[in-house]
A and B are shown apart, each in its own frame.
Chain A
Amino acid sequence: MRPLPSISDDYDLVIVGAGPAGMAAALAALETGIERVLMVDREVEPGGILNQCIHNGFGLHYFGEELTGPEYAQRFLADLLDHNIDIATDSYVFDISPDRLVTLMSPEFGVRQVTAGAVVLAMGARERTRGAIRIPGTRPSGVMTAGLAQKFVNQFGMLPGRRVAILGSGDIGLIMARRMKLEGMEVPGVFEIMPHANGLNRNIVQCLDDFHTPLHLSTTVVEIHGRDRVEKVTVAPVDEQLRPDMSRTRTIVCDTLLGSIGLIPENELSLRLGLRIDPTTSGPMVSSTMETSRDGVFAAGNVVHIHDIVDFVSQEALLAGENAGRFITGRRPPADNIKLNAGVNVASIVPHTISSDREHTVYVRVRRPLEKSWLRLGDVYEKRLRYVVPAEMVSIKVRPRFLEEFHGDILTIDIVPRHESGKGEE
Chain B
Amino acid sequence: MTTVHPEGAIYHYLCIECPLGCRIEVEEDADGNIVDVRGYACNKGKTFAEREHTDPRRMVTTTVAVQGGLWPRLPVRTTTAVPKDRVWAVVELLRPVSVESPVRMGEVVFADIAGTGVDVVASRDMPVR
> Which A residues contact B (CB, under 8 angstroms)?
1, 44-45, 51, 54-56, 66, 68, 70-71, 73-74, 153-157, 182-183, 200-202, 204-206, 209-210, 371, 386-389, 391-392
Contacts and interface: CB of A to CB of B under 8 A. Distances in A.
Contact of A70 (B14, B65, B75): B75
B14 A209 contact: yes
11 contacts: A1-B127, A45-B70, A54-B62, A71-B105, A154-B63, A155-B71, A156-B72, A157-B72, A183-B62, A206-B58, A387-B18
Nearest to A156: B72
Contacts of B13: 205
B59 interface: yes
B111 interface: no
A391 B21 CA distance: 13
A347 to B, nearest CB: 16
Given A206-B16, A387-B19, A157 B73 contact: yes
Given A68-B75, A155-B71, A389 B19 contact: yes
Nearest to B106: A71
B77 interface: yes
Given A74-B125, A157-B73, A205 B16 contact: yes
Most buried by A among B73, B91, B127: B73
Given A71-B124, A74-B125, A201-B21, A54 B63 contact: yes
Contacts of B16: 200-202, 204-206
A182 B70 contact: no
Given A68-B61, A74-B125, A210-B84, A182 B105 contact: no
B21 A154 contact: no
Contacts of A371: 20
Given A70-B75, A182-B91, A387 B20 contact: yes
Contacts of B71: 155-156
B120 interface: no
Given A54-B75, A206-B58, 12 more contacts: A45-B70, A54-B61, A54-B77, A56-B61, A68-B61, A155-B71, A155-B72, A200-B19, A205-B16, A210-B84, A386-B20, A391-B19
Contacts of A155: 71-73
Contacts of A182: 62, 91
A117 to B, nearest CB: 32
Contacts of A54: 61-63, 75, 77, 123
B124 A201 contact: no
B26 interface: no
In the A-B complex, list the 9 residue pairs whose CB atoms are closest, starting with the nearest: A70-B124, A54-B75, A202-B16, A157-B73, A201-B21, A68-B123, A155-B71, A201-B16, A70-B123
A154 B66 CA distance: 12
B59 A56 contact: yes
Nearest to B124: A70
Contacts of A73: 124
B105 A74 contact: yes
Contacts of B61: 54-56, 68
Contacts of A68: 61, 75, 77, 123
Contacts of A183: 62
A44 B70 contact: yes
Nearest to A158: B72
B15 interface: yes
A201 B19 contact: yes
Interface in B13-63: 13-16, 18-21, 58-59, 61-63
A51 B124 contact: yes
B15 A157 contact: no
Given A68-B61, A71-B105, A71-B123, A204 B72 contact: no
A154 B75 contact: yes
Contacts of B87: 210
Contact of B14 (A45, A156, A201, A387): A201
B45 to A, nearest CB: 11
Contacts of B70: 44-45
Nearest to A70: B124
Nearest to B59: A56
Nearest to A183: B62
Nearest to B81: A56
A386 B62 CA distance: 35
A181 to B, nearest CB: 9
Contacts of A157: 63, 65, 72-73
Contacts of B91: 182
